[in-house]
Amino acid sequence: MTDPILSSREKKELRGVAQRLRPVVLIGKQGLTPTILAEIDSALDRERLVKVKFSGDRDTVRESCSTIESEVRCVCVGGVGKTASFFRERAQEDSEES
């Protein structure tokens, strides 16, 4: 699966949808653990667009977003404060199996 390349218009539309979402993953003091990354991965498999809430300073949030993008193969479509939204297209295999 390749990383999705989104236009600024697509990101804007996704940010609008994400505003109404509640965070599905909360990242605490321990930061990003393999368990947290797996939870984000499974949430993206189910929902395609998820909101994640962080604890920590801005630099930690920025680093965590980059790590999530590379490890989980998704795109950060935007964030406000300590909350960020991530998007991933569904794999082609999923639609063929259904």
What homologous superfamily is domain 8-87 in, according to CATH?
YhbY-like (3.30.110.60)
Domain range summary for the chain, segments of one domain joined by +: 8-87
Q: Which pLDDT does position 1 carry in this prediction?
A: 42
Give 74-90 pLDDT, tens digit per residue. Answer: 999 999 999 999 999 87
Q: Which pLDDT does position 29 carry in this prediction?
A: 87
Per-residue pLDDT band for 92 (boundaries 50, 70, 90) equals: low
Mean pLDDT throughout 11-37? 93
Strands, sheet with 49-54, edge to edge from the N-terminal-most edge strand: 25-27, 49-54, 83-87, 75-80
Please, are residues 49 and 17 in contact by the beta-carbon 8 Å criterion?
A: yes
pLDDT at 94 over 90: no
